[in-house]
Every structure is written in structure tokens, then in C-alpha cells.
Chain A
């Protein structure tokens, strides 16, 4: 996936990643719905305005998070003990349950929309270069992640091929549940062997390209500018303000 230019795409990947982590951690301690709801509103507008994400992708990208959020709301509303506000047959809905469920649901949506903004505005190689430059992550780790990602992209095709290749080996086992499980395990083993081989060869290729030599240069270093500092400070200020205004004392 190529990353289109946008104000968010121009920001430093490590800064964006760190902010995503900070927001997620801060919300871990919030169990009332107003704070995450307000944060969700702000995050939605900010991502839509700054990341250049297409509205359709923004909508479709929300689906898994909305699913989880609704699930959290329902489970908590129906299972948490507390003041009953409604009764549905055998099930009782509690006020405490609705409150905690909504808090957790909105938390999911905040993290979801921020993650969407991060993913559409960040190129993998730039992220890894930046994590090496600014977060002191080891080169062997960052390039292993990139090379591993390439292997991962090949996996679905490889899996299909192996399943086909194994399907002609057996005539009888089809439809038998135990046979299916075993066939699955065999194919998984074959995939493991093939992937390990490929990983080994990729590691050799990286070594033969001189990964690990010193001193080394960076062709297109990722910038960490004053704007990134302002961006980070501004985001943290918004977060702190929302917390200060909405959290019950």
C-alpha cells in the first residue's frame, strides 16, 4: 500500500506511534463514557481532516471496532451487577453496566480511529527507519520486520498452493472431520517448513547486502522537526484538557 501525501503523513512516524500509545494507556484508567466519547469525536474529526483518508475507507475501517464496541457495551450492560434500569425477560440491564460498557466501547473506537489514521498515513519503511533513528530500535530488528512482512504477503498464495498440493494426495479423507483436522495440521507443517526456508534465505540475503556494517548512512533520513514537537505538544494538551474538563472529580 502506498501512502498519499497529507498533513498527517508528513509527521514523524515515531511521534505518531508514541501518541497512539499514550492515548491508549491514558484511557486504560477511564471507566466513564463522557471522556472517551469526547475524545472519539475530536479524533474522528482530526483524522478525517488531516490524514486524507477516503470517507468510504474511514467507514469500512470502523466496522471491526464498532463490532467490538457494541459487544463490550452489551456484555457489560447485561452482566454487571448494580442498579436495575430495564428488564428484558430474564436479563437485567444495570446503570453501572451501561456506563462501564459505553466507556469501554468508546475507548475501542478512539483507539480504532487513531490506528486507522496512523496506518493510512505511515509508510512501513519510513516507520522502521524512524524507529531506528528516533527510538534507537536495532537495525537487525527493523529490517527483519520489513523482510518478514514480505514473507507474510506471500503466505496466502503459498497456503492455497499447499492445500491444493495436499488435496490430490488423499482420496478418502474428505468430509471426515478428524481427517480434515489432520490434513490442516499437515498443510500447516508444510507451510512452516517452506516459510522457515524462505526466512533463512532472506536472512542470508540481508547479510550479503552488508546489513550490520558500521559506519552506515541513511539515504532518506526521517525528519524530526519543530512542527512534530508542536504536533505532539498540541495533541497532549488536547488530551489533558479533555481529561480535566470531563473526568468527575
Chain B
């Protein structure tokens, strides 16, 4: 018996030229677990929406072929009726939770399915328990952290025991601690409720954690660029066989698969061939790398913070309670031509520091000197002010800046999107628009809050290229990030904040080698970066190897001129 069946399904959206899915044929058995991967825009979300019935009931699309869930055709069954079988855990914890308290949130799906009221309390406990959040039962939902919210949403999705659980990038908006907690919650909840699982995820290494491929679903399908089913089989084989194609499509792969594909071997970081290959990448100095970077040329100081304390709230005027700013005693110089990474756990004050340096929050103590910097925010949508991409990039520029705008659109790979609304773009495209719009003003200092958050690998590399380009043109760049591979590839220096102060400020590889500093900031080195730091011979070698690996991904022209 099959639970979900897609027979020759094609989906096209009106107003978008091409179809999103073509001739997909697929069956999922009860209890089966399946991973869906594919590049940005390959139709992963569309596939999930077909199964929930959101397509065609809430989103208009032309659908050919038939989709059946539990034997019923999704065209003739409403989303609400399908919810008896299908549960969803979406990306954003903030919009997956609807009610004021945790227990009411979990009770809602049980009430809706007509569960006997006397049994509901016990079922709430069971669901919270298997998601590892039994202690949050009476908590207000506004007081939940991202990781807690996502686990509560998981408990609500599974409480009524649906036959199918759809996971739509469930950890992509969490920090590393949140990812670990949600990963464990999914494992134990799926073990208890035994639904079939469809997982869409693009940071596979982060999602799988130490268990590696064993923590991923046994079956994987790959959606190709044209929206076709490019592969369907056991996860290990599919990842190994299609690693090259997936790398080229800009997907993040488990590091072992990525390296095997680059060096044409098997065994990942443990394999002698991969190690030899990485060592030679580190040693070799190819022509394009020589042209890429003249090294950290340290120019004049463009922005300086002295004895700076930062806080979201003002010092209370009358209260006698001790007042502690989120960070204090920060001394920091940003130099022309240098990229500095800002590292620290969630809630350590990184964003508050960036807002204060940008002049948007008053300093609680100390001073910031220098020309007012530009800043790009974590969510590009918060910063959009215009209705087309070209107006967005040209916003606030003096009249007659048309050629500058055209050049920026071109160099950031946005020319073909010039007349689109910035709100309708993909995540990677939105990020490129927000960077181009900020770079248009040519300000001395550029601040960026988590600029690569939630992006696929291709988009991440575009951001790295754009920020390096800005530094090469003489800007001072400061960006915050959790992703230490990106940090190692992009930054010249790194600053680490933890426990209310700055605990490190030095050359990036020196900081990344300092185990004590990483430990206190809850940062874990990715295995690739760790191996390179130990074996590449020199810091320049680490950088060469990382950039050579990124060069395997074909990227739209994004060189800031």
C-alpha cells in the first residue's frame, strides 16, 4: 500500500514563464523516510505544497497528472481534510505557532480531530516529552527561543499521530545549539510516532550532526534544474553519484560527498587521495588565485570604537537595580581593505553591537568615531523601500546615477531582474539586491548582520565575493556569522564576543586555532576547516584550499568592480 503517490505530475505557475516540476513520478510507503534535495528554484517547496494540497487549493497553479494521499486525490480534498494524514513543520518557528500558551497549541490539533477531551492532557504530555520540551507545557509561546519554538511546533504537528510528516528546512533559521536540539527532537518524535517523513533540507551536515549520513533518511530524491526527478534511491548512493551535479547546482553537500566529487575518490576527509588533493590545493598557487587577492592590505582606520558598551535599552533613570549592558569595554578598529568577522553565540550582543556601530542605537558608554557606516540586515525584506529591483539599488542616489545602477545590477547578476519586485525574488537574489543597494552609496564602512544566513552554497559564495570585492575597493567590512567555513574563506580578522565582553580580536586563523575562545563562544569548527588548519601547512594554504573548493561552484558574475 502506498501513502503518497505522484503520477506524472507537472506544475506550472501563471505569470512565470517555465514550469517548476516536470513529469514527476513518485511513491512513498507508510513509515518510509525520504530526503528531497535540489538547487534553489528546483521545486522542492512546490513538491511539499502538492502533498499538503496547498497547490492547487490555496496557490493557483496549472497541475497535470494526479497526486493521491492516503488514496484520495488532492484536487478533490481540501487542505484541512488532508491534514488528518499530513502534518507540516515549516522553517520559521515564529509563524508556525498560533496560540498564546504551549499546551493550548498542542491541544488544538487534538481537539480538531475530535479526540476525547479526557485523553488530551496525557497526549499533550506525550508529544512534548518526545520533543524534549515537557518542561515548557505552561510557558507563554512569546517567551520561546527559536529552538524551543520549533520543538513545540513539532510536538503540535505530531500530537494527533498523522501518517506523514513534512519537514521544510526545519533547522535553517536556528543557531547551532538550536539545530542540535531540534535534530534530537525530530529523531525521538519520529521514533515514537513512526510517521512517513519527507525532509527538505539544504545544510545536510549541520542537520545530521556527528552521526553523519546515518542521521539522514534512508532514501533520497534529487530534483534537477529543469524540475525533473534526477535521482531516486538510497541516500548514500544518490549523494555519491550526484555530488558533482549537486555541487554545480549550488547545493550544500555533506563534506565527505563534496570532497569525493572534487577529487574523484571515495572516503571523504579520511581518504588519503582527498588529503593529498587538499594538500596540493593548499600548496598550489594558480594564476586566478594570485589575481584574486593581494593579501590583507591594512589601510587607514575608517571606524573606531573605544571602551564601547552597547545595550538595547536605555539606562533606567530612577531604578536602583544594577544595569548591565549586553556588551561592554569593546575596543575595535575597522581598517580600509579589511574584512572582519564578528563571532559569538545567539544573544551574545552581536546584532546590538552592529546597530550601535551603525549609529542606530546610542552607545551605553564609550564612543564610536568615523563616518556613518552602511549596514545590511539579516532579513533583506526589512530593508526594501522600492517596488522594483533597479529602483531599490538606485534609492537615495543623486539624479543621473543611471549608469552606476546599471553597472551594479550587472556585476551582482541582477540585470535580468531589474523590473521585478524585490519581494518576489529568491533568498539569494534578495540578499544580492540588498548588498548592491548598500554598496551603491560607496560608504567607507559596511556592516552586515548574518549576510549568508539560510542561503544555499551558490548564494553564500556570491556574498563572499561581493564583500571581498567591497574590501578590495577600499571599504572596511564587518560581518557577523555562525558559519566558520564562510568566516575562514572571507575574513582577514575575527572578533569574538562572549559573556558580555570581547574575548578575542586577531587574525582570523589565529582566532580559529584558539580552542578556548571557540569553546566559550559555543562555536564548533567544521571538520574540513579543522583538518586544513592542522594540515595545510600555512594560513595562506588554508585559504587557497577553501577558495579552490568554492571555485568548483559556477557562480553568476558577482565581482564588484
B383: interface (CB < 8 Å): yes
B411: interface (CB < 8 Å): no
Determine which of A149, A164, A193, A207 lies in contact with B83 in the assembled complex, contact meaning CB atoms within 8 Å: A207
Whole-angstrom CA separation of A6 from B85 in the bound complex: 42
Q: A125-B104, A171-B372, A218-B117 are in contact. Are A209 and B97 (CB under 8 A)?
A: no
Binds A, one of B208-216, B240-248, B250-258, B374-382: B374-382
Whole-angstrom CA separation of A149 from B84 in the bound complex: 26
Give me the interface of A with B, judged by CB distance under 8 Å.
2, 124-125, 143, 146-147, 149-150, 153-154, 161-162, 164-173, 186, 190, 193-194, 197-198, 201-202, 204-221
Contact yes or no, A219 B396, CB < 8 A: no
Contact yes or no, A162 B372, CB < 8 A: no
Whole-angstrom CA separation of A149 from B99 in the bound complex: 9
Contacts of A147 in B (CB 8 A): 98-99
Determine which of A194, A207, A219 lies in contact with B117 in the assembled complex, contact meaning CB atoms within 8 Å: A219
Given known contacts A150-B99, A210-B109, what 17 new A-B pairs fall within 8 Å (CB)?
Answer: A143-B98, A146-B99, A154-B94, A166-B385, A168-B358, A168-B373, A170-B396, A171-B372, A186-B385, A193-B381, A193-B423, A202-B95, A205-B90, A207-B80, A209-B157, A217-B115, A219-B107
How many Å from the CB of A176 to the closest CB on chain B? 13
How many Å from the CB of B224 to the closest CB on chain A? 27
Whole-angstrom CA separation of A206 from B52 in the bound complex: 13
Contacts A/B (CB < 8 Å), 17 sampled: A150-B98, A164-B355, A164-B377, A167-B360, A168-B375, A169-B385, A169-B396, A169-B438, A190-B384, A194-B381, A204-B58, A205-B97, A208-B52, A213-B113, A216-B114, A217-B111, A217-B114
Contact yes or no, B94 A169, CB < 8 A: no
Contacts of B92 in A (CB 8 A): 201
Contacts of A208 in B (CB 8 A): 52, 79, 83, 86-88, 157
Whole-angstrom CA separation of A206 from B372 in the bound complex: 44
Contact yes or no, B437 A169, CB < 8 A: yes
Determine which of B86, B114, B141, B374 lies in contact with A213 in the assembled complex, contact meaning CB atoms within 8 Å: B114
Contact yes or no, A150 B97, CB < 8 A: yes
Q: A169-B437, A194-B382, A217-B117 are in contact. Are A125 and B99 (CB under 8 A)?
A: yes
Q: A167-B360, A193-B423 are in contact. Are A215 and B114 (CB under 8 A)?
A: yes
Q: Mark B320-356, 1 if CB is under 8 A from A, else 0.
A: 0000000000000000000000000000000000010
Contact yes or no, A210 B382, CB < 8 A: no
B525: interface (CB < 8 Å): no
B463: interface (CB < 8 Å): no
B475: interface (CB < 8 Å): no
Contact yes or no, B98 A209, CB < 8 A: yes
Contact yes or no, A168 B384, CB < 8 A: no
Contacts of A216 in B (CB 8 A): 111-114
Contact yes or no, B52 A168, CB < 8 A: no
Contact yes or no, B117 A221, CB < 8 A: yes
Contact yes or no, A209 B100, CB < 8 A: no
Contact yes or no, A209 B117, CB < 8 A: no
Contacts of A169 in B (CB 8 A): 383, 385, 395-396, 437-438
